[in-house]
Amino acid sequence: MAISRKRIGILTGGGDCPGLNAVIRAVVKTAHHDYGMDVIGFKDGYEGIIENRYMHIDPKSVSGLLSKGGTILGTSNRADPFNFPVLQGDEYVYLDRSSQAVLNFESLGLDALICIGGDGTMNATAGMEDKGLPVIGVPKTIDNDLVGTDVTFGFDSAVVTATDAIDKIHTTAQSHHRVMIIEVMGRYAGWIALHSGMAGGGDIILIPEIPYDINCVCEKIRDRTAQGKNFSIVVVGEGAKPIGGDMVVAKVIENSPDKIRLGGISHQLAAQIEGITNIECRVTILGHLLRGGAPSAFDRILATRFGVEAVHMVAREDFGQLVVLKNNQLSQVAIQSVSGKQRLVDYDHPIVKTALSLGICLGHPEDISLEEYCNAIVPSNKIKFE
């Protein structure tokens, strides 16, 4: 009896980032080269499988994708199959369209669905596994906040872009003797701010996990001025907040699974610093610049490794698993184990300790340890890694 040719579905969900196309390319090439499998790409994340919008992808169609940013499939950060927004009249209503997604999957004769995305996409994918879909996850996000893996693809590219921007801002800061504040993405995690701040020579790095004391920030700036350093570079994550304060919300998107859009803390910080020190501040918000452009060499390789391994997992029928990187080795964890969780920066992380040894201000008084500070103001701040 002849064995039927297997078919894989693939989608990219959530925010875009460099490396998505590299994963698609790796999946298609491996599926065809190693297993003779066909690949169908769903358009715009889970919207595509719900609305039955898809395209056939072959090795010829992925030629040249390795270095291209974005995703040829399109993506959506509003397409939750269990809470799908549908416009009725002037208002959105939210419907469970997961059963329709299952029907469309089955009607196409698919054997597996590879879902590339971050925490929101993995939450949805965990739910689709519960409905019986044979799913494989691939971890993507510039925020690097997905548990279970040491790193997500897209993160390194964002750090490279942010570092390049900080390098350029350094020269104008020195020329005009100003405090330059660079705001980076990352949502509730400070990985991008921490890494790009260190790589770019930031003097002050403020992250969501460590609420800052504005007086300590200003003291650091004054100390630098007293030493003849007449400029300062402040790198701040969009989710950073002062002690006793809240994160700055730029807007609320009602028809999105994650309604909160952060942004603008840098302007609040600039006003506070100018008011206390009387030193002129300038703000640069990098925003979606961090999502665009070609992936870094690291991300091209990581995305390719993830894509190849995802297809091998399909062949082994390792369904319900997320391919991850642990100690530079590919591994896998259950998608259910990462759903609804976030990987945040712990105050005793090695990178944090390195920053402190360099004299970088993280927004706390220098006469007490960061551990004492965090335990005093946010006792639950200490996040243990998976």
Q: Which residues are catalytic?
A: 143
What CA–CA distance (Å, rounded) separates 386 from 369? 25
Output the CA torsion sign for 119, 120, 124, 125. Answer: negative
**Who's near 139: CB < 8 A, 6+ residues apart?**
118, 122, 146, 148, 149, 152, 153, 306, 322, 323, 324
What CA–CA distance (Å, rounded) separates 22 from 16? 13
What CA–CA distance (Å, rounded) separates 327 from 325? 7
Q: Can you point out the beta strands (E) in the chain?
A: 7-12, 38-42, 54-57, 84-88, 91-95, 112-117, 135-139, 179-184, 204-206, 232-237, 249-252, 260-262, 281-285, 321-326, 329-334
Closest CA to 113 of 7, 8, 6, 4: 8
CA triple 339-340-343, angle to 5 deg? 90
Closest CA to 157 of 191, 203, 183, 202: 191
Q: What phi-psi label fits residue 264: left (phi over 0), alpha (psi between -120 and 50 degrees) or beta?
A: left
| CB-CB contact of 335 with 178 (8 Å) | no
What CA–CA distance (Å, rounded) separates 67 from 62? 11
**Who's near 220: CB < 8 A, 6+ residues apart?**
203, 204, 232, 361
Which residue shows structure tokens 């945040």?
344
| CB-CB contact of 320 with 334 (8 Å) | yes
